[in-house]
Copies of this chain bind each other. A is one copy, B any other.
Amino acid sequence: MRVLGVDPGLTRCGVGVVEGAPGRPLRMVGVGVVRTPADAETGQRLLLVEQGMERWLDEHRPDLVAVERVFAQHNVRTVMGTAQASAVAMLCATRRGIPVTLHTPSEVKAAVTGSGRADKAQVTAMVQRLLRLDAPPKPADAADALALAICHIWRGGATNRIEAAVRAARSTPSNGTLKGTSR
């Protein structure tokens, strides 16, 4: 399974592609940051995020896109930009029929370090170890995008099977005939 992790942001949008399956070694396929100038108009910045996402989707053809779930936090201005950049990432994936999943920051931290309250250094160290990299991933703030992709590969399997089962149960008519439940 190849997953594109997206750590959304209007100024810096972290992207990381990881290949793997639960219980198998993980492999980093690519990592980077889509940047937009802070002094550009919001519409223009969203367009640059879209173009960046399209390039990453074109180049790496992921099976799934994992996006960090955005919460309203302390800094209202930042949260709006984050919500808007995440919307563009979800839109680009959905337009291509690529499934999107959302993971909270603490789910991601717990998945790669064992603790939902791990700090940035710990997440980066574990990402480097899990992907067997010689050095911490660069740019540094793209480590979270890789962590998101790893989180999905490890957690997503179970979650996806539960969701598929729920969908299957819902779409099963009362006469018991199954339809459209294969993935």
Contacts and interface: CB of A to CB of B under 8 A. Distances in A.
A165 to B, nearest CB: 17
A43 B93 CA distance: 8
Interface stretch (A23-31, A71-79, A136-144, A149-157): A71-79
Q: How large is the interface on A (under 10, 10 to 19, 20 to 34, 35 or more residues)?
A: 20 to 34
A3 interface: no
Contacts of A84: 83-84, 86-87, 90
A130 interface: no
Interface string A35-58: 000000111101100100000000
A80 B72 CA distance: 8
Closest 10 CB pairs of A and B: A43-B94, A84-B87, A83-B83, A43-B90, A72-B76, A87-B87, A43-B100, A46-B91, A47-B94, A80-B83
